[in-house]
Amino acid sequence: MSKEELLLKKIEELRSLMNQLISEKADLIDPDVVLLSQKLDILLNEYNEFLRECD
């Protein structure tokens, strides 16, 4: 699996987890939701950096 595929897989997994957590907590500022959102932000930034390097 390529780096791009791995990043996309992790991003989708975190998105799914975050959506599930938001449904359970029903609070976007819950610390668990915020933490997961921050992790997703880091992965998205990493993916964007990867795309820039490929250009």
Exposure of 38 by Cβ count < 10 A (0-12 exposed, 13-18 middle, 19+ buried)?
Answer: exposed
Query: What is the DSSP-derived secondary structure letter of residue 2?
Result: -
pLDDT in 10s for each residue of the chain, 55 residues: 899 999 999 999 999 999 999 999 988 999 999 999 999 999 999 999 999 999 8
Domains in the chain, number: 1
The boundaries of the domain holding residue 43 are 3-54
Using CA atoms, how far apart are residues 13 and 40, in angstroms rounded to an integer? 9
pTM above 0.85, yes or no: yes
Nearest Cα residue to 32 out of 41, 40, 22, 42: 22
